[in-house]
C-alpha cells in the first residue's frame, strides 16, 4: 500500500528542508532567538554598569560640593593625602 507517490515525496522532502531551514534561521540567524538572548544579557550588564556609574557620579558630586563649601574637608584631604601640616605643628613619625 503506497501513501505517497514520487512527486508527493519530493514535495514533502522540500517542505521538510524548508521548515528545517526556517527553524535554523529563527534560532541562529542575525535576529534569531540566540542573538536576542545575547542582546538581553548585554543590556542587563550595561544597565547594571549604568546604575554603578550613577552612584559613583552622585558620590563624586557630593565630594565636589564638600570640597567647594567645607574648608575642614579640604584640610582633611591635605593632611591625609598630601601629608601637609599647619604652620607651627610638629610631626612625629614612628617606625612600624
For 38-61, the pLDDT digits (tens) are 999 999 999 999 999 999 999 999
Whether residue 23 lies inside any domain: the answer is no
Q: Tell whether 67 is covered by a domain.
A: yes
Please state the three-class secondary structure of the chain as a single string. Answer: CCCCCHHHHHHHHHHHHHHHHHHHHHHHCCCCHHHHHHHHHHHHHHHHHHHHHHHHHHHHHHHHHHHHHCHHHHHHHHHHHHCCCCCCCCCCCCCC
Residue of 48 and 27 predicted with greater confidence = 48
Query: Domains in the chain: how many in total?
Result: 1
Q: Is the pTM of this model over 0.85?
A: no
Q: Which domain holds residue 76?
A: 31-85
Question: Could you report the per-residue pLDDT of 52-95, keeping only the tens digit for each?
Answer: 999 999 999 999 999 999 998 888 888 888 888 888 888 888 88
Tell me whether residue 52 is in a domain.
yes
User: Residue 94 domain-assigned?
Assistant: no
Amino acid at each position: 500500500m503506497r501513501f505517497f507517490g514520487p512527486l508527493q515525496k519530493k514535495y514533502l522532502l522540500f517542505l521538510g528542508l524548508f521548515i528545517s531551514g526556517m527553524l535554523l534561521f529563527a534560532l541562529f540567524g542575525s535576529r534569531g532567538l540566540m542573538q536576542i538572548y545575547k542582546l538581553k544579557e548585554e543590556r542587563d550588564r550595561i544597565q547594571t554598569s549604568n546604575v554603578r556609574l550613577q552612584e559613583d557620579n552622585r558620590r563624586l558630586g557630593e565630594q565636589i560640593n564638600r570640597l567647594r563649601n567645607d574648608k575642614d574637608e579640604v584640610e582633611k584631604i591635605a593632611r591625609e593625602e598630601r601629608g601637609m601640616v599647619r604652620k607651627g605643628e610638629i610631626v612625629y613619625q614612628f617606625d612600624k
